[in-house]
Amino acid sequence: MTTYRHPGTVLTDHTFAVPLDHDDPGGEQIELYAREVVAADHADARLPWLLFLQGGPGFGGPRPVGRQDWLDRALDEYRVLLLDQRGTGRSSPANRHTLGRRGDARAQADYLAHFRADSIVRDAEVIRRALIGDEPWSVLGQSFGGFCTVTYLSFAPEGVREAFITGGLPGLDVTADDVYRAAYPRMLARNAQYYEAYPGDVERVRRLAAHLRDHDVRLPGGGRFTPEGLQALGRVLGVGGGSHQLHYLIEDAFAGDPGGSELPDGALPDGFLFDVAAHLTFAAAPLYALLHEQCLGQGFTGATRWSAQRIRAEFAEFDPAEALDRDAPVLFTGEMIYPWMFEADLVLRPLRETADLLAERDSWPDLYDADRLRANDVPVAAAVYHDDMYVEREHSLRTAGSIRGLRPWITNEYEHSALRTDGVTVLDRLIALARGNA
């Protein structure tokens, strides 16, 4: 273990060996990395542990500097563990290079089937026992981390002392199709809000989409920038300040035109294309693209079969060609994953066949135990963001009512990213709720 200091904190690196397949404990092992953070003035104290489960799937844990964001509240009373979930960060990686060494696409898909919430929870239990034995710990789950927390409460509640969930109460009995049939109407509302705030962008986005339709525009990684890629930039609309971020990005496509209404002659500005590439690439989280829909699969759902792409066809408003033909606004999509992304993104291109096999896989184990959740005796508090772009409110509220003892905090004051933008307030409220103090 390596220990080092930041302003106000002491950090310690941990690594753990866990089975790739927890049902085969003597089989292949993978490595997990986790970072322990404790307040400097509590470094030698015996404190309860708080496990943080990151959103995603496919993103490593936070890389904090000092007591930033929600850590400032957590470090008042906890020793915090920031886990790089399997396949992410400094844990054994899962990307085009490492997956390519595992064999053909079928072997890769079989390997990746072990990277969902059920395996992450069993990883957490191995780590908990290694660090603190039989003592339970507190769990904070953000977004997909909240999904993992509900899985934890379903299959290993004895390991959890109290649970805090932010923007991550999943539907217990929904399919991927259900999720996207609810998601596209939310995106219609977000587009209306965006264009109301920036009415000049209606024509700018239309001009840009037409340019991309009529020209072979290439991003720095070599992938083609298409109208569908332009639409996918809308995934930022669900975070605090995301609409302004998107507006400034669109504005940069028109650099060189003082009025900001005409595209420059010839190629689009390099700065704009580099910024677009940074938004569209999955270089930092290939597992997000590979497993996003598959994290919704359970025994009763069957294969997801590229659900976001299929369900999109039910919402003609999102067809950019039709929008251009009808002189209608070109609408942005959200965090949906589409097959074309595995051609456009260099880091995903070698994994297209693997992604297809995962989309057709129909043997997913269940992620939640409704009976266990109805009998839950772990204190749970959950923030449900009323206007959350990424998680369907009605699905979350049904789940909140299905978990015994869960106390929901339903608010329209925050976006999905509230734990990052106002984490001290959010976590403090959830702690108080779970303990009956709010």
> Does 23 qualify as catalytic in the annotation?
no
Give the H or E element holding residue 196. helix 176-197
* 267: region left, alpha or beta (phi > 0 left; psi from -120 to 50 alpha): beta
Choose which CATH entry (3.40.50.12500, 3.90.1150.10, 3.30.420.40, 3.40.50.1820) describes domain 3-172+368-434.
3.40.50.1820
The whole-chain average pLDDT of the chain stands at 95
The tens digit of pLDDT for each residue in 59-78 reads 999 999 999 999 999 999 99
Candidate list 92, 143, 243, 417, residue with the active-site label: 143
pLDDT (0 to 100) of residue 152: 98
How do strand 380-385 and strand 406-411 relate by DSSP bridges?
parallel
How do strand 137-142 and strand 380-385 relate by DSSP bridges?
unpaired
pLDDT (0 to 100) of residue 267: 79
The tens digit of pLDDT for each residue in 169-208 reads 999 999 999 999 999 999 999 999 999 999 999 999 999 9
pLDDT (0 to 100) of residue 137: 98
- Please, are residues 334 and 207 in contact by the beta-carbon 8 Å criterion? no
Candidate list 118, 177, 345, 388, residue with the active-site label: 388
pLDDT (0 to 100) of residue 261: 65
- Residue 81 DSSP symbol: E
Does pLDDT of 260 surpass 70? Answer: no
Over range 264-281, report the average pLDDT.
Answer: 90
> 256-279 burial, b if ≥16 CB within 10 A, otherwise e?
eeeeeeebeeeebeeebbebbbee
The two three-digit tokens of residue 175, written as one number? 């399919």
- Other beta carbons within 10 angstroms of residue 248's beta carbon come to 11
Residue 232 — φ and ψ, nearest 5°? -65, -15
CA distances to 44, 191, 201 from 186, in Å: 48, 9, 20
Nearest to 209 by CA among 225, 197, 224, 185: 225
- Please, are residues 18 and 3 in contact by the beta-carbon 8 Å criterion? no
The two three-digit tokens of residue 420, written as one number? 């990052």
Does pLDDT of 215 surpass 90? Answer: yes
Does pLDDT of 1 surpass 90? Answer: no
- pLDDT: is 13 or 301 the higher one? 13
Nearest to 381 by CA among 102, 178, 114, 161: 161
Q: Using CA atoms, how far apart are residues 277 and 223, in angstroms rounded to an integer?
A: 9
Question: What share of the chain has pLDDT > 90, as a percent?
Answer: 94
Contacts of 5 (CB under 8 A, 6+ apart): 11, 40
Nearest to 162 by CA among 397, 377, 368: 377
- Other beta carbons within 10 angstroms of residue 377's beta carbon come to 9
pLDDT band at 258 (very low <50, low <70, confident <90, very high): low
> Does 388 qualify as catalytic in the annotation?
yes
Does pLDDT of 115 surpass 70? Answer: yes
pLDDT band at 263 (very low <50, low <70, confident <90, very high): confident
The two three-digit tokens of residue 264, written as one number? 């420059």
The tens digit of pLDDT for each residue in 135-158 reads 999 999 999 999 999 999 999 999
Candidate list 154, 345, 416, 417, residue with the active-site label: 416
Q: Using CA atoms, how far apart are residues 18 and 50, in angstroms rounded to an integer?
A: 20
- Please, are residues 286 and 175 in contact by the beta-carbon 8 Å criterion? no
Over the Cα atoms of the chain, what is R_g?
22
The two three-digit tokens of residue 302, written as one number? 């069957």
Over range 109-119, report the average pLDDT.
Answer: 98
Does pLDDT of 256 surpass 90? Answer: no
Residue type, 343: E
pTM of the entire predicted model: 0.96
The two three-digit tokens of residue 371, written as one number? 């009976």
Residue 307 — φ and ψ, nearest 5°? -60, -45
> 214-228 burial, b if ≥16 CB within 10 A, otherwise e?
eeebebeeebebbbb
Q: Using CA atoms, how far apart are residues 93 and 304, in angstroms rounded to an integer?
A: 25
Residue type, 432: A
The two three-digit tokens of residue 128, written as one number? 């908990």
Q: Rounded to 5 degrees, what angle do the CA atoms 292, 295, 299 make? A: 140
Domain boundary assignment for the chain = 3-172+368-434, 176-360
> Does 84 qualify as catalytic in the annotation?
no
The tens digit of pLDDT for each residue in 43-57 reads 999 999 999 999 999
Does pLDDT of 264 surpass 80? Answer: no
Q: Using CA atoms, how far apart are residues 270 and 219, in angstroms rounded to an integer?
A: 9
